[in-house]
Chain A
């Protein structure tokens, strides 16, 4: 079957760096995405990795290792507003076409 694992919650202090890991077991893997969701809000897209390596977008970076079925989201210079849930999602190709499978999410608490 298809599965993703990420920590249920992470706590860090303002200004620090935090890494949220995601491991996956899927067939037909095409890429790994990250989404952010604030309480009461809808998920919003952060990043996508189709190839191995690190992608940087401002304070956020995302990494993928296809051989290890592993990726992570790195958040630098944490701000209080970064407190949210972060979902990794794999894009796979199956008989029905492309599909996105979401992890259960990691709740990030940023403390002052």
Chain B
């Protein structure tokens, strides 16, 4: 597609349920990022994929969070046993990764607004 797409756009769930968030990056972009943004706050890095591998998972807040990417394209972020503090906007971005000195501009999707009741 023309841009990064994410689904669902909004998700309301009950505490303790599992949720799965999806990201479709821009075609041909090898790098994919997940961020979390709470209301009025900055971007919290969660995980980064280069192709199908995740060289940096340092931002995942707990073992309830996991992510995978298949075929070098679509990625899913799964949150198990959701807690109220997981409520936030989850943003996905993709970029071309071309090496030193090149900006690696990230193109963001519209986000998934997650509300855990």
Residues of chain A whose beta carbon lies under 8 Å from any beta carbon of chain B: 30-31, 33, 35, 41-45, 48, 50, 87, 91, 93-105
| Size of interface on B: residues with Cβ below 8 Å to A | 27
Residues of A contacting B: mostly: strand
Q: Does B16 contact A (CB under 8 A)?
A: no
A42 proximity list for chain B (CB < 8 A): 91, 108-111
In the complex with contacts A42-B108, A43-B43, A103-B42, A96-B103 CB distance below 8 A: no
Is the beta-carbon distance between B45 and A97 smaller than 8 angstroms?
no
Is the beta-carbon distance between B41 and A104 smaller than 8 angstroms?
yes
- Nearest chain A CB to B70's CB is how many angstroms away? 19
In the complex with contacts A42-B91, A42-B111, A87-B43, A31-B103 CB distance below 8 A: yes
Query: Mask for B94-113, Cβ within 8 A of A = 1, else 0?
Result: 00010011111111111100
List 10 A-B pairs, Cβ < 8 Å.
A35-B106, A43-B108, A48-B103, A91-B104, A94-B56, A96-B56, A96-B58, A101-B45, A102-B42, A102-B45
- Nearest chain B CB to A16's CB is how many angstroms away? 24
Is the beta-carbon distance between B42 and A104 smaller than 8 angstroms?
yes
- Nearest chain B CB to A58's CB is how many angstroms away? 17
A48 proximity list for chain B (CB < 8 A): 103, 105
- Nearest chain A CB to B89's CB is how many angstroms away? 9
- Nearest chain B CB to A62's CB is how many angstroms away? 11
Is the beta-carbon distance between A91 and B103 smaller than 8 angstroms?
yes
B50 proximity list for chain A (CB < 8 A): 97
Query: Mask for B41-65, Cβ within 8 A of A = 1, else 0?
Result: 1110100101000011010000000
B109 proximity list for chain A (CB < 8 A): 42
The residue that A97 contacts in the complex, of B97, B101, B110, with Cβ under 8 A, is: B97
Q: Which residue of A lies closest to B100 (CB)?
A: A30
Is the beta-carbon distance between B97 and A45 smaller than 8 angstroms?
no
In the complex with contacts A87-B43, A94-B56, A100-B106 CB distance below 8 A: yes
Q: Does B34 contact A (CB under 8 A)?
A: no
Is the beta-carbon distance between A98 and B104 smaller than 8 angstroms?
yes
The residue that B48 contacts in the complex, of A45, A93, A99, with Cβ under 8 A, is: A99
Query: Mask for B64-103, Cβ within 8 A of A = 1, else 0?
Result: 0000000000000000000000000001010001001111
